[in-house]
Structure 1
Amino acid sequence: MVSVVATTDLPLERVDIPQFVDRLGEAARIGLGLPPGLRSVYLVPLTKEYTTAKDGFEATIVLYSAPGKTLEQKRAAIADLNSVVQSYDWGGDAKVVVIIKEHEPENVGVNGVLRWDTLNQPSE
């Protein structure tokens, strides 16, 4: 599973947002070598007054995933996410920053249950 959180001042009115969100999720999922459906994407648009003054636009994309990905997978995810963002005409330069945050199962809970507990239940 990869959770993608993209904060950006890109002019999103220029794109089909559901398609853009899907493309970001697929780029992260495929790059990290994950099976279909194992991604969640959260796109957080920011207006210029809520960002540092700069020329052009920026997207900061944080990937949250379990450890164990190879450097090649990480490189692929970063390159693929950059390609997705750069494939659009934003009306100016777009800088893409990707941060990969890996987390062990003992540091994640889903629906009130520690992921470590789910993975380490005795089989019946």
Structure 2
Amino acid sequence: MGKVIFVSGIDTDVGKTVATGIYAKKLMEQGFSVITQKMIQTGCKNIADDLLVHRKIQGIDLTEEDLEGETCPYLFEYPCSPHLAAKLEGQEISEKIIEKSTALLVEKYDYVLLEGRED
């Protein structure tokens, strides 16, 4: 069973995405299996933009888990706060769905780097 490391910052555009990608790459270089995860991403359609940055830094293609939505269980088109985006798109955010996605990843990888904010 893998470990979850929460990569956090106090605001947007403080470097969480780049730091997460670099951290993942360094762990991979040490021989660990690593996946990154975003709980929620707004302002995009098919794949979370931050995951694209992570994979580029890691030097890997999108994973099966990326394509299946396990690495970002909530993706909203509206570029606003997650709760507002969910409301605008008629969805409700469930912590259980996020927890289930993380649990599935933890079963497959040595490390899951979970990028997010603490609020």
Report the TM-score when normalising by structure 1: 0.29
Higher strand share: 1
- Give the structure with higher Rg (CA): 1
User: Per chain length, whose mean CA-contact separation is higher, i.e. which structure has more relative contact order (CA < 8 Å, sep 6+)?
Assistant: 2
Report the TM-score when normalising by structure 2: 0.30
Higher helix share: 2
